[in-house]
Amino acid sequence: MVAVSLRERAEVVREFAEDFGFGFPVWVDPGGESPARFGVPGHPSTLLIDSGGRIVGRVIGERDWRRPEARRLVEWLLEQRGR
């Protein structure tokens, strides 16, 4: 998991991530170019990217990734790695 911060200074993002105890990296995009590059119209958005760098899933808007359906989707995608 990687969070993306749009148009914010790295120092602000670092402090925010530390304050909230993020256990994952934050990609700082000061120019705000990543939504267009990844084909998402806005945020929140979730991209599932495989080990080859291919986008294998795209969800626009909020989702509860703790739900059983979401877990099954991620597990299925992980199973596809070796195929």
Q: Please write the tens of the pLDDT for every residue from 29-42.
A: 999 898 888 888 87
pTM: 0.65
What is the Cα–Cα distance from 15 to 21, expressed in whole angstroms? 10
Q: Beta 45-49 vs 55-60: how paired, if at all?
A: antiparallel
Q: Which two tokens stand for residue 48?
A: 């599932």
Please identify every stretch of the chain with a pLDDT value under 50, giving residue numbers as ranges.
none
pLDDT score, position 45: 87
